[in-house]
Amino acid sequence: MALLPILHFPDPRLHTKAAPVARVDDRIRTLIRDMAETMYEAPGIGLAATQVDVHERVVVIDVTEDKSGLLALINPEILERSGEQVGEEGCLSVPGIYDKVVRAERVKVRALNTQGEPFELEAEGLLAVCIQHELDHLDGKVFVEYLSTLKQGRIKSKLAKRARITA
């Protein structure tokens, strides 16, 4: 297992559209284990492969408090969305920044599991938010892009200042 470095906004690589996984093999299963370890260590409740500079459609999620609900989604697709919820979101690629985003309250997702078998999942609340947030990453979208240009500018300068201090 290995901890993977996480890209930080506004790194242009975060805007890469990820390609579908052609074959679910040991390479992908190792990637998922490493992504899960990286997410738990951060700590975070979701991580997309895009954030660790791997541009394939893989995400890991665990919204439980005791790390008992690891969910790996390969080639995920949202089949249905309904309702609306507004929650404070954060992102391991945008450290220390939290803001409100409007999302669907419920989603139905189809994905492949770590054995390459298709499954469907219905989610609501926080899990639904997390799925939508992580799937955005696979399409090259970071949550702060839902915010105003003014706010995005402030976030960029805040993160740049912090990077200079820690460098």
Active site residues: 134
- The CB-side HSE value for 6 (13 A sphere, CA atoms) comes to 23
User: Minimal distance in Å, beta carbon 93 to Ni ion?
Assistant: 5
User: Minimal distance in Å, beta carbon 35 to Ni ion?
Assistant: 12
Q: CB nearer to Ni ion: give 24 or 92.
A: 92
CA distances from 90 to 27, 44, 54, 78, 93 (A): 29, 9, 21, 21, 9
What is d(CA 164, CA 37) in angstroms, rounded to the nearest whole number?
Answer: 27
What is d(CA 3, CA 18) in angstroms, rounded to the nearest whole number?
Answer: 21
Q: CB nearer to Ni ion: give 32 or 91.
A: 91
Q: Which of 138, 135, 116 is nearest to 27 (CA)?
A: 116
Q: Does 138 bind Ni ion (CB under 5 A)?
A: no
Neighbour order of strands in the sheet with 118-124: 46-48, 58-61, 71-82, 106-112, 118-124
Q: Was 130 annotated as part of a binding site?
A: no
User: Minimal distance in Å, beta carbon 115 to Ni ion?
Assistant: 26
Contacts (CB under 5 A) with Ni ion, residues 75-134 = 91
Q: CB nearer to Ni ion: give 24 or 133.
A: 133
Q: CB nearer to Ni ion: give 27 or 100.
A: 100
Q: Was 91 annotated as part of a binding site?
A: yes
* Closest residue to bound Ni ion by CB: 91
What is d(CA 19, CA 45) in angstroms, rounded to the nearest whole number?
Answer: 23
Q: Was 8 annotated as part of a binding site?
A: no
Name residue, tokens 């920044």. Answer: 97
Residues contributing to the annotated binding site? 91, 133, 137
Residues contributing to the annotated binding site for Fe cation? 91, 133, 137
* Site of interaction with Ni ion (CB under 5 A): 91
